Chains A and B, each alone.
Chain A
């Protein structure tokens, strides 16, 4: 029930922003549609998860605190890659290779967030996450890095930040 109500309000906010009309007719249409959507697909937005749990609120706070750091990293890495691209001897500066490292992240959402952060930061692309089906070994990230320096910075601080933002505190 809680997930239905939450989905309804998120959908309604989206409707109001997208429609931009505030008269009774359009708003009532929106309420009707959002009720239908919330009833049928509330488990899409809030899937039933297994494993370690945390409240939505701390997730939202964690992500909000993480975003400025991510944007700053994207800017820094962009300037670095721009410097390499425009450098006359670019081919000597790059050293593309794939490397692997183990992660300590446990929740699927934090692994996805970390993989997306790596890919968003220019110079590194997440190729694959090899997960152990039995869940005994930590998952392994395969990352394609453009330069040695980009590879050296991983997992490092970014993983710590993601862990702080999304992992359970005692995990």
Chain B
């Protein structure tokens, strides 16, 4: 009987912790990660999730010709570094932040519109630890608000 009681408490605590983690993720994306996008305008789409070390996520998105973009990937400070790669549709690597000291952002523009994949992986910790680290990871996309320079035929 006591065991069931303890189990029930543990489950309730686990649910509560998961809800807190979710709310923290929301605040993390909105208040911390979004600042990394500046001076680019955030596109308004919320992409954040709780990932553990070694886990991956991928964002599929069409990026348009001529538009200047910034992709920002940031993770909770308790997490090991987050690797992100920008891949084309055939999964050829166009950018790898691991080669740039795990930079949080990459700015680019395209000559022609393309669908790209932003592949994210939480690296595994080097420290000997029984606990698997997990935390919020957000991937945000921003674009530069540039005035129209195109001369429309009248």
Q: Say whether A associates with B.
A: no
Residues of A that sit less than 8 Å from B by CB = none
